[in-house]
Amino acid sequence: MAQLIKKGQLVTSDEWQRLDDEAVMADYSLISLQRWQDNAESLAPLAQAGKIGLWLNSEDTADRLGDDCRQFSIIAIEFPKFSDGRGYSTARLLRERHGYRGELRSVGDVLIDQLFFMQRVGFDAFALRDDQDLNDALAAFATFSVCYQNDVHDPRPLFRRRG
């Protein structure tokens, strides 16, 4: 299991596991967008009960999921390599355009230097690569004390926030 930080705290056990499309459905499974779209009607009760979550690959955009996102308590967005930034856009669109309020988890090639920025676009859980230092990761959330731009937590730019 990858090292997991949720809402600024280290998590030592987590029951959510990625499930292959051919595997038998189990509680606390993260399923693919394709599996969801192919079986949405039968899977909706499990999603609404918090028994299944969604795993989005880097090519799965927020608009392909749309407002269905609100049925899930957790959505994991994969970063196949640290230089692939599509997950940032997906997270921000899920939060701002589609009103998603559940857990957004970054998974895959997640590095410490990305955490501060991932949090700004709406991620609140981070599955770090095993070679990342957890103390450095927790400190990374305080990298900057002030940001000029808005983010999902405060839509006002800096000049609007000043007295």
Q: From first to last of the 163 residues of the chain, give the pLDDT tens digit.
A: 578 999 989 998 899 999 999 999 999 999 999 999 999 999 999 999 999 999 999 999 999 999 999 999 999 999 999 899 999 999 999 999 999 999 999 999 999 999 999 999 999 999 999 999 999 999 999 888 888 888 998 888 888 887 6
Sign, CA torsion 33/38/41/42? negative
Sign, CA torsion 18/23/27/30? positive
Write down the pLDDT at residue 1: 53
Write down the pLDDT at residue 161: 85
Domain boundaries, the chain: 3-161
- What is the CATH number assigned to the segment(s) 3-161? 3.40.50
Q: Let me know: does 102 contact 75? Beta carbons within 8 Å.
A: yes
Write down the pLDDT at residue 43: 96
Rounded Cα distance, 45 and 74, in Å: 15
The whole-model pTM stands at 0.93
Residue 30, CA atoms < 13 Å, CB-side half-sphere: 20
DSSP conformation class of 163 = -
